[in-house]
Structure 1
Amino acid sequence: MKCAGCLDAPVYPPEERVDTVYCNRDCQKVHWSVHKAHCRTLGSRKKLLRVAVILKVALLTYREVRYDIDLRRIAVHDGVLCLYQNQRPATTRCRRGRFPAHLTSNNAHREAALANNQCTTAMALLGRLTRKLLKGVTSTINILDVQIGKPTTRTKLVPGPDASNCPHTVLKVKLSGNEAWIIDTAGCQYGFEEVLVPFETYMTEKSCTIASAPAPYDATETKDLDYFSTLPFMNKTKAQRGDREQERRARMHFAEFVSIHVSRDIINGSVAEFERNCDRFARDLTAHMLALT
């Protein structure tokens, strides 16, 4: 028998064993006084992993329904995932709609296209959801800008500016016991599959450097939009201002879904139950966002 509280908890130091195995329930009961502290640590990790998975699902689902790029082709050239777009002038309103899924059958490419240049959006959009799901998990959450030195795959808009030197924004979460983790909801634009990685492992494997000091994570759904409204170059045309107000309305619609329809119970249960919860969450969020008129 394996302890259910430890089952599928992520490993923090590479040499750590996270599965505790018993011959029967009586044996487990006898060992509980020794095991319970470590079990609670692993249980917090497991909850953190599930929160990270839900956050990524939320970002990609939102983008899938509210896609704002006029995408015409997806192709890989010289190791770069190229997103070919029909570029629009700043005087033309953006048309948001369903992601053109017919352009690729590769799920990694689809996720990269959805997450491209979306780390700032993710930080704002997901603030309320992050705090709600992590309530009850002893943790400190900071926002952190890093420079990615070793992407698995780089994603590029064509035509579009070279964003390879732009910092990438992630969450640094500290659990009790001084464990530090990175939640990277938009890392799929670099080909990163894991959404939760130990901090030191993330920094080393991806050859990251810190671009700015960590700051408390207090973002609201429209924090980035509020800042953009102060930048002259983003407020030159009526179309730019209209697009931002349209996005603001969608963000608040998302916030309504989080406040009313999301419970912390979503991260509980067995592996199979959690997978069903994720699927149901994505379906319900999709329906909610499509109902926005």
Structure 2
Amino acid sequence: MDASTLPEVPGHCRLPNSLTDDDQKCQNCREPGARMVCGNCKVADIGSLSTRYCSRDCQKAHWQEHKKICNARRRFTRAIRVLNTIWEAFAELTYVNRVMVTGKTDRVIHTTLLGQNEALDHGGWTGESIFPGFSPDVLGGNEDEHVKQAILQDIGGNNGNDIVTTGLSLIKSLLTPVCSDMTEIRFKAKGCALVVEVGSSPILDAHVILHAQTQSGEEFCIDFTGARFGWEEKMYPWRTFAQHRAESLDSRLALGGTNLHKALIMETHPADQSYRAAYDLRWEVAEDVVKSITAFFSEKKINAWLFMSQANSTFPSQSDELVSRATMAIHDSIRQLTVERGIGRWYVEVQPTRFALRVLRDEELARKMKKVWLSQKQVDKVRLRFAHLPKRRMEKACLDKLSDMVLKRWAKYMYCQHS
């Protein structure tokens, strides 16, 4: 999102109580000022949701009517929490963009893309993994958690639609089993608390949320990536979201529709090689996470619906175990790709007039590149050698020297192969 299209940022990180659907009336007798809350379905972390009563007698009298709604809400909100925790770990561990935060003014986060030489130094010459994990260095000294999450969910993904493309299988494995219906909605945000200023493709610059209906018929918005606008909530009653977070609802698609559209765009308008490779590899990692979740449920002889229906006494520990298993699967998948198979690493492709930063996808080429890559010590030594020069001359001298070193190592490798 570039400066010319930045929305205004007068909004709240978290909607105040005055803007939520909580009217503080007893759900049984409708008396105002009810203070008791049903603890079974209360939500105060990922959103704001409560069912109020003025007395235990009213709560008891209302239970048969509330029971179905209560249990459906509990399964639904548990699934959101589990999926959100896994997604945040996935976003951090598979962060690939070469972007730095340069500052924040008036709730606008200013960023810059690394230049060619900086990008090459960040792995191109040395064959580093494209998944180094999110580094605090990206934030440029801004330690605000809201800034971190905005970067992860905006630049780190695909500008708000990553969860319904890369994360689609995760949604289907954990969330759809506890819903009666789910669709994707593209919308224009209002009331942003933060925005990220960075160049991006208009095709991908779309925020997508999920419109979900619980198994009791209630309608909610699920927004896993709203942190890109500084928003803390992951779910809202649908009416609250439509009134206070959405300027307009632009289009509605069946679950998976955004992913199909994106696949078509990428086929008809081929993306940059490194972007497409990173997208495909992150998809592989996400699929491995889903396999780990499926295996977990199989071991427990349970499904997602039953898992989210567990008693309050057992669910927290079981949830922690599932999240731990899924997070470990992310680590294992990245290691298998980048260490065991040798792909998912940066390399420099020599072209007639320039050097291009690419991502390894071919295991045979990966075996060859191991003989060509430089060590970080060698790169640092070259940078130090020319550090006294003016910046542009220094960068050109470093590029010439490092590329010459790579070409010589490649020539030596090819000679050894044919001698």
TM-score (norm 1): 0.76
User: How far apart, in 1, do the equivalents of 2:276 and 2:171 lie?
Assistant: 28
Compute the displacement of 1:217 (Å).
Answer: 1.2
- In the alignment, structure 1 residue 131 sits paired with structure 2 residue 172: yes
User: CA distance change for structure 1 residues 254 and 223 in 2, over 3 Å: closer, same or farther?
Assistant: farther
Asked if the contact 2:166/2:283 (under 8 Å) is kept, the reply is no
Could you say which residue in structure 1 is the equivalent of 2:136? 101
Rounded to whole Å, the distance in 2 between the matches of 1:15 and 1:279 is 23
- Structure 2 match to 1:22: 56
Q: Say whether 1:114 aligns with 2:152.
A: yes
Give the C-alpha shift of residue 58 in structure 1.
Answer: 2.2
Alignment of structure 1 residues 233-272 onto 2, 5 Å: 233-234=270-271, 237=273, 239-261=274-296, 264=304, 265=307, 268-270=310-312
Deviations 1:208-254 (A, max 9, x none): 20111x2221469x75763354132416x5x4554344334223223
Report deviation, 1:19: 5.3
Q: Who is 1:231 aligned against? A: 268
In 2, Cα distance between equivalents of 1:267 and 1:109? 35
Match in the other structure for 1:186: 225
Counterpart of 1:171? 210
Q: 1:4 to 1:101 in 2, by over 3 A?
A: same
1:267-286 superposed matches below 5 A: 268-270=310-312, 276=317, 279-286=320-327
1:59 is the counterpart of 2:87: yes
Any idea what the Cα deviations from partners look like across 1:62-105, whole Å, max 9, x if unmatched? 11111011243363122112344415699979822210035453
What is residue 50 of structure 1 aligned with on the other side? 78
Q: What is the CA-CA distance between 1:120 and the residue it aligns to?
A: 1.8
Alpha-carbon distance in structure 2 between the residues aligned to 1:281 and 1:125: 20
Q: What do residues 115-153 of structure 1 show as CA deviations (whole Å, max 9, x unaligned)? A: 114432201233333333346535211111111122121
Who is 2:356 aligned against?
Answer: none
Corresponding residue of 1:79: 107
Q: What is the SS of the residue equivalent to 2:228? A: helix
Match of 1:8 in 2: 42
Q: Deviations over 1:250-289 (max 9, x none)?
A: 232233223223553256443x865555554443323211
% identity of equivalent residues? 15
- Name the aligned partner's letter for residue 78 of structure 2: R
State how far apart, in whole Å, the 1-side matches of 2:281 and 2:173 are: 25
1:23-81, Cα deviation, whole Å (9 max, x unpaired) = 7xxx98xx47x522312212212222222222222221111111011243363122112
State the alpha-carbon separation in 2 of the partners of residues 225 and 168 from structure 1.
13
Q: 2:212 is matched by which residue type in structure 1?
A: V
Unaligned runs of 5+ in 1: none
Q: In structure 1, how many angstroms separate the alpha carbons of the residues matched to 2:49 and 2:294? A: 40
CA deviation string 1:164-189 (max 9, x = no partner):
x9431000012356422100000011
Question: How far apart are the structure 2 equivalents of 1:106 and 1:135?
Answer: 33
Task: Give the structure with higher Rg (CA).
Answer: 2
Determine the C-alpha separation between the residues in 1 that align with 2:231 and 2:37: 30
Question: Runs ≥4 in structure 1, deviation > 6 angstroms?
Answer: 2-5, 89-94
Task: Assess if the C-alpha contact under 8 Å between 2:38 and 2:52 holds in 1.
Answer: no
> Per-residue deviation at 1:112?
1.4
1:146 aligns with 2:187: yes
Contact 1:9 1:45 in 2 (8 A): no
Question: Tell me, what secondary structure is at the counterpart of 2:151?
Answer: helix
Q: Does 1:36 align with 2:64?
A: yes
| CA distance in 2: counterparts of 1:148 and 1:100, whole angstroms | 28
1:215 to 1:150, Cα distance in 2 relative to 1, 3 A: same
Deviates more, 1:74-83 or 1:181-190: 74-83
Tell me how large the CA RMSD over aligned residues is.
3.8
Looking at structure 1, the residues matched to 205 and 328 of structure 2 have their Cα atoms a distance apart, in angstroms, of 33
CA distance in 2, matches of 1:277, 1:83: 40
The two structures have a TM-score, normalised by structure 2, of: 0.55
